[in-house]
Every structure is written in C-alpha cells, then in structure tokens.
Amino acid sequence: MMGGSAEGLDDQDWSGESNYFEYSRAANPIGSGRIPPVAMERFPAERHQAVATGILPFDLSDAMSISEGPATSPALLASFIRIAPGDSVETSPVATSELYHVISGNGVSTVNGRELHWGAGDFFVLPANSSSIHRSDADTTIYWVTDEPLLRHLGVAPTHAKFEPTRFPAERVQAELADVEHAPHATDRNRLSILLNTTPNDMTQTITHVLWAMYGLLPVGAVQRPHRHQSVALDLVGACAPGCYTLVGRSIDDNGDIVDPIRVDWEAHSAFVTPPGLWHAHFNESGEQAWIIPIQDAGLQTYLRSLDIRFAPPARTQ
C-alpha cells in the first residue's frame, strides 16, 4: 500500500459522481429553473378543522422537488395538531427546534418525563431530542413548526439541546403587545409586534437558534408598508374578520408600492407561505383588529448574516 493511502482504495479513483458546469449557466440555479422556487401556497382552516385528532402537515415538498420528507419551506415544516377531548398525540421529530402555538383548547404535554401545562394563546418551544405526548382536556388545535427538513437536507441529527423548554403564557404575550400598542409614537412604527426570545439566543433576538417568531397586531384601518427578507415566512393568521389581506410581489415602484401584487385574503386560523425575497404588505379594511403570527428560519439566517431585511420608503404625500 502506498504511503498515506487508505487500504482498499488505491485501486479506484473516486470520481464516479463528479460533474462539471460552466459557471455563467450554473451560477443561478433558481433563476434558471433548475431549483424550483419556494411555493406560495395557502392552508385553509377547513383542512385541519375537519379532523378530530391527528397531525396534518402543510406539505409543499413536491412543488419544491424535495424528496426526503414533508416540508413547507426548504428548512421548515409547519403542521396543525388536532386533539379531541381526552385524546393524545405523540411527537418526536428529528429536529433542533420545535415551536407550538395553541390556537384553541387546553391540556398538558409530557416532554421527556416532565409535564408542561398549556392553554389557548400560549406559545412554547422544545429543543432537540424531545419526545412528547400531548393530551387535551378540550377540543384543541395547535400550530407546530420544526426544522426537520433542514436536518434531513444536511444529513444530520442533533446531538444536544441548544435551549431549555420554554413557555410563553398567553397573558404575558398579550400584555407585552399591549405595551407596544400604547407606547408613545406607536402609530409611527411599521409594525406593532413583539418578538419571542429564549435567553441563549439573545444575540439573534430569536425564539431558538433557528426559528424566529413574531406576534403582531394589525389595527383597524392599518396598512403595514412593504418589506422583504431572505427567510421564508410561514404565516399563521390569528383572529381576523373579512377585509384583512396581504399583497405580495417581486418589486416596488418609486412610491414604495408593490408592482403587480398577488392578494392573499386572510382567514382566521389559516396559514400561508411568503417566499424569500418578495415584497409583502398587510392591510386591515375589516373594521376589527386582527393578528398575524409569522414563523421563519430567521434565527439561522440572522446568525449567518444573510437575512437582508429591507423596508419600503414611506409613501409620498400629495
């Protein structure tokens, strides 16, 4: 055996899977169509409300040519968990981060032998290697987001927890948002929202090292001006009335308005995907307050310094 060679490998050249591409044609595989874009899709509430107990993934993997398992975006999977009174659902994803938002109901989750009690409006996050049994005392709907697709793509499994299991009680979440709403100059802000954070992720100000979570109010008559970012937004609509909607498009004009937008009408407890890099703006013409809960992989994107969030300029006054 030659010095430095591995036994049994000196009779092969290891080039069986090697390929070569001319740079100018291969530098932008998304633009060329080789990689499908992130799908812009909706998950109507009726799809999860029709099930008494079970997990319903918001699966767009086929549209993104992802073959290793369900995915809502390349890095994240959003699902709705339904639990009838007295029933239970088990979860044990291969993930570094799990986020739960209790839309309705109440109950208890046994997580690695420890009990976590939750109710409507609560958020909680679980770290890697969490095996859970979720039991309900009332008809329950939970929004659940994990980073399973990211780990499947990397071909890895988590080795240790990066944060502690953490609950964000509904009362505290609402109180923090009310403080923002009633603060001086609140109406001058582009968003009336709070970000949820766990202490180990203070640097990125995110709920986990991968996930970013916002709880936002859309007041009556509000227009939240366009902005864009490179993370995919998995948007959960909270309470709302007809007349709330989001406009999404690829560019803005000189006035900061979206050019040729697609309109996504809100429906309470539904979800929709906002692809990366697209301008989007929220409108409330319903006469009632509304809430929006975007979950993104912006914890990871912020750490990589690649989020690139941008806001449209203020609208010109006539």
- Provide the 10 A C-beta neighbour count for residue 303: 15
CA angle 218, 222, 225 (to 5 degrees): 95
Integer Cα distance of 293 and 265 in angstroms: 15
Q: Does domain 37-311 have CATH number 2.60.120.10?
A: yes
pLDDT at 1 over 80: no
> pLDDT digit string (tens) for 285-302?
999 999 999 999 999 999
User: Which pLDDT band holds residue 184 (cuts at 50, 70, 90)?
Assistant: confident
Distance between CA atoms of 45 and 59, rounded to whole angstroms?
15
Among 101, 124, 104, CA closest to 236? 101
> For residue 125, is it left (φ>0), alpha (ψ between -120 and 50) or beta?
beta
Question: Does 6 have pLDDT greater than 60?
Answer: no
Q: Is the pLDDT assigned to residue 272 strictly greater than 70?
A: yes
CA 133 to chain CA centroid, nearest Å: 23
Which residue in 177, 183, 262, 178 sits closest to 226, CA to CA? 262
Whole-number pLDDT of residue 10: 53
Across residues 152-177, what is the average pLDDT? 98
Residue 9 has pLDDT above 70, yes or no: no
Question: What pLDDT is recorded for position 11?
Answer: 60
State how far the Cα of 82 lies from the Cα of 98, in Å rounded to an integer: 16
Question: What is the rounded CA–CA span in Å between residue 273 and residue 275?
Answer: 6
Q: Would you say residue 3 has pLDDT above 50? A: no
Residue type, 206: T
Whole-number pLDDT of residue 4 = 46
Return the pLDDT at 132. 98
> What is this structure's pTM?
0.93
